[in-house]
Structure formats: C-alpha cells, structure tokens
Chains A and B, each alone.
Chain A
C-alpha cells in the first residue's frame, strides 16, 4: 500500500496542475449529475460544485491550519495554481470575448453609480455593525467597514490608519464571509431581485465588489452575465482602497469624534 501511495505521490507532486484538472473534473461531474438527478435541474451544477469546493476549503483549513483551503493539502496543491489569481483573471478576461458593447453602454451610468454607492454602503453597513458590537473608535470602525467592502480594502485601510492587528484580522474575516455569501446566495436571490439582464449584472458587480464572489455567483447563475458583473467589480477594490483611509475615515471621524 505504501508502495502505491509513494509512487502516486511521486507523480502527483510535480504535476499539481494536471492533478487539479482531474479533481475539478470529477467534482464537476458529480455536481452536474447531482443537479440533474437530485434537484431535477433546479439548482445549477456549478452552484453545487462551488459549495462542495467551499466545503473542501473548510476541511483543508481545519486539517492543515493553513490559509489556502484544500490547496494546503499536498495532494490538492495544484488547485492553488488552477484557482489562483493568475488563471482566474485570465479566464475573466476571456469571458469578455463575446460581450455586447451596446449592453455595456446601456449599463454604463447605472454601473458607475452602483460602484460608488456599493463602496460607501459597505463602509456604512460595516461601521454600523461594528458600532453595534461595541467598537467606538474611528480607526476600527473604518477598518471593519473596509473589510465589509472586500477582504483587501479592509487590511489596506487598517494598515493606512494604524488599526490593531485584531481589528485587521476581523476585517479580513468579514470580507471573506461576504465573498462566500455572494457565491452561495447569488444563484438563489438572482431571479427575485431582478439579476437577469447585463445591466443588472453590471449594477450587481458594482454593489458587491468582491471579484471572487461575483465571479462564482454569476457563474452559478448565468455564465453569460459574468463579463458584465466582473467589469464593474474589478474597479471596486481599487476605489475602496482609495476612499477608505481618506474620505470614509474623515466622515466616520466627524461622526464619532
């Protein structure tokens, strides 16, 4: 048995990406079969696959104590490359092929407005929730607000303002919760909340902002909407990092003193 395991691992280790193709392929096959036979197509196969992925990520994190989910387990390390920022962004760019410029123009103003409202709204929601949990200083409130924007805006804002490492960690956690919530909830909430058109997808991307969340959420809802949502979401984190430690902090400070 050891002989077999050793031999397999010797092949798998330097072939991580190829192993990842096989693993994700099997996962996709199981998920799409489950979608077809267990839910009669009511729940999209990719939505099931993403949820299984998140469960695997939880298991990986618990087992290894690492930060990269199942990718921290040696056998699954190729998942890290396959689902990492490089290929993710490359694939998002590829989805733009076939985008309808007319649709994008229609969504233009609404998308930009959604982006601005979305970022400020996150700071408001995050700040209010943090206040509710007993935080009173402007630095912590703004940092947690930034985390509610995305898990990048939080630490960038916190670092700029000199927040405590505990608050920065909290802001990252809030951002990750949001991103995961967007992945899981989007396919369920899309229809009732009118997320059916390219313009709505652009608005949604601006409001949610998390690139990974919107990427997965739209994939599980309607892959054709992906480029419109991704387009606005990609400006969100940058804009959040810009206004977080500046305008938002000044406003929060003016309110709480």
Chain B
C-alpha cells in the first residue's frame, strides 16, 4: 500500500522532530536542533532494514519516491515565497554580510572535504 510508505516517512519525521525539539529544550534554546536530520537518518535505517527483510513493497516505496521526486517543485514554490523585498531593502550591510559569508564558505569546501576519505562523485543524471 502506498500509504505505508507515507506512514513510515511521517513517523520518522514526527519522531525525529520531537527529538530535535527535546534536544533544543535541554540546551535551553528555542530552536529545533537537527530534527529533520534525525528523521533522515531514521528513514535510511528503517527502510534499509525493511528492504533487507523484503518487507517494503514496491507500492510502499513509491509513496516515498513520490515525495522524493516532488522535492524540486516544492523548492521552487519555496523560492517564490521568500521575503526578497526585505533582503534587498536591508541595505548594504545585509548584502555585504550575506554575500561575504557565502564566498568564504565556498572557499573552505575543498580544504575541509580533503579531511573526508575518498568520496566519489555521483553521476548527475536527471531525477526530477
């Protein structure tokens, strides 16, 4: 059943985000710490386990893969509701600060990645 895929993913999302909220509360901050990240990790572990046991049907998988494929359209919709006006009206300090952080970040990608073991490029074929 398609809904089983959604159920698994929804459960991972709720458990992961709850964990993130609790972590935030324990640290005394009003933010979710890594909730989505935990949910992703749970989904990887749970689906891998189910696939090994051959208990994740094609239909259940398609429930997950649908949202996987909806990612780019959702991101486009997300872009269309950013507060672009505020970003441009913030003045030079906002523009310079925001851009500087991005450029400095990009420069550090290579040196920091060198710390990781030989990670191989994935083929970038179309998925959407």
Chain A positions near chain B (C-beta within 8 angstroms): 20-21, 24-25, 27-28, 46, 49-51, 53-54, 56-58, 60-62, 67-71, 76, 79-80, 82-84, 87-99, 101, 103, 106-111, 113-114, 117-118, 121-122, 125-126, 129-130, 132-133, 144, 147-149, 152, 156, 169-170, 172-183, 185, 189, 193-200, 202-204, 207-208, 211-212, 215-216, 219, 222-227, 230-232, 234-235, 237-239, 241-242
Contact = CB atoms under 8 A, between A and B. Distances in A.
Given A71-B80, A177-B87, A177-B99, A114 B108 contact: yes
Across chains A and B, which 7 residue pairs bring their CB atoms closest together, nearest first? A173-B90, A83-B77, A177-B98, A238-B33, A53-B79, A61-B85, A199-B119
Contact of B9 (A62, A71, A93): A93
Given A125-B100, A227-B40, A20 B72 contact: no
Nearest to B38: A234
Interface residues of B, number: 86
A178 B101 contact: yes
11 contacts: A57-B80, A60-B80, A125-B101, A144-B97, A170-B91, A177-B90, A177-B94, A179-B82, A197-B113, A235-B33, A239-B33
A92 B24 CA distance: 21
Interface of B: 9-10, 12-13, 16-17, 20, 23-24, 27, 29-37, 39-41, 43-44, 47-48, 61, 64-65, 67-68, 70-102, 104-110, 112-124, 127-128
Contacts of A57: 79-84
Contacts of A193: 106-107, 109-110
Contacts of B127: 223-224
B33 A242 contact: yes
A161 B31 CA distance: 16
- Residue in A49, A93, A225 with the greatest tally of chain B CB atoms within 10 Å: A93
A50 B81 contact: no
Contacts of B85: 58, 61-62
Contacts of A169: 86, 90
Contacts of A170: 90-91, 93-94
A216 B94 contact: no
Given A76-B80, A174-B90, A203-B109, A91 B68 contact: yes
Contacts of A219: 71-72, 75
A207 B105 CA distance: 5
Contacts of B86: 61, 67, 169, 172-173, 176
A44 B35 CA distance: 30
A56 B23 CA distance: 37
B82 A180 contact: yes
